Amino acid sequence: ALFVLGSFVAACSATVDRLPRAGESLQAQAFLLEPGGKGLNLAVGARRLGAAVDGLFGIGDDALSSLAEPALRRADLPVAMLHRFPGPTGAGIGFTDAAGENCLAVYPGANARLGPPEVRAAGGRIAAAALVLAQFEAGDEAVAEAFRIAHGAGVRTLLNPSPFRMPPPEILATTGILVVNAVEAAAFGAALGVPVPEGRGEPAAFDALAGALLARGPDLVVITRGADGALARPAGGPMLVQPAFQVAARDSLGAGDAFTAGLAVSLAEGRPLAESLRRAAACGACVVRREGVFDALPDRAALASMLAG
Ligand code: ADP
């Protein structure tokens, strides 16, 4: 199974003509409350593509926590993934404008309370996984512990450091696949003192960043660039360039999670990197052409029709 560490959040999103400015109240055209969180998106995305999925999500004991169990059942995910803590469930608030651009803030809530003890309790499931996926809606100590267990058992790991913070060296050292978007690539560049092109840079301009990241542990660095597609640089190999699929973008929220789920499933199925990248980009495109994330994550049929063009 793919093991997904954290996170579950109640995701609120408002559709607006343009993103609100400081101090301003806008009327929204639509409002959506859906089960979300990067961990849930990855788990649902992978499950819908046919992968067996396990994992660990923290939820609270408030009203929002009641969204979790039905969401997991609906997605055919094991409810044993949920670990309940007293206190608030994670929650996010996002805005999407008419051009499909978005901004959001996420409060981690119970996700931040998952720590080494809860991760160790799932150690057997982690050691038996095909791939362990983490993002930064979970805390450093939980991610480090999960990756330490995976590393010790020879299980491959994937990190999407979002929301961005600089990963501690021990996490990078035990990361196999590092997936970053343009914002995270720029933040890594700034933290590591490596130049990163702003906006539409040539693929070769990301070589220095990919090299600096590969030197810190990962064996594959993937950089997603929205409508410009994605780049992938394996250790010891050249940079691969994957263009985006042409779609009418309605809501870019969740594109990165869909991409990462597609990449993880495809690599876990043993597909070559170039094919896996193409499938990942198709999954991202499936999500941006629809509003919301949960229902937009593609199943195998939706993926196949996007791949067929
Ligand atoms: P994030 O959601 O993390 O910011 P990106 O915006 O880079 O991630 O999107 C991830 C992937 O989804 C991209 O690499 C691309 O393949 C696909 N994607 C994103 N936006 C579009 C778009 N407007 N059209 C087609 N594909 C897209």
For the chain, the structural domain boundaries read 2-308
User: What is the pLDDT at residue 281?
Assistant: 98
- Annotated catalytic, 257? yes
Decide: 157 in ligand 1 pocket, CB within 6 A. no
Residue of 181, 279, 287 with the most ligand 1 atoms within 8 Å of its CB, for mutation: 181
pLDDT in tens, 193-216: 999 988 777 999 999 999 999 999
Among the residue ranges 137-141, 197-201, 266-270, the one predicted with the least confidence is: 197-201
How confident is the prediction for the chain on average, in pLDDT?
Answer: 95
Domain 2-308 has CATH 3.40.1190.20: yes
Does residue 224 have its Cβ closer than 6 Å to ligand 1?
yes
* Residue located nearest, by CA, to atom 3 of ligand 1: 256
Residues of the chain above pLDDT 90, percent: 89
The answer to pTM > 0.90 is yes
Residue 255 CA to ligand 1 center (angstroms) comes to 5
Task: Band the pLDDT of 57: cuts 50, 70, 90.
Answer: very high
Is the CA virtual torsion 11, 16, 18, 24 positive or negative? negative
Under the banding of pLDDT at 50, 70 and 90, the label for residue 104 is confident
Is residue 78 pLDDT above 90, yes or no?
Answer: yes
Pick out the residues of the known binding site for ATP: 181, 224-229, 256-257
Index of the ligand 1 atom closest to the CA of residue 252: 20
CB 231 within 8 A of CB 203: yes
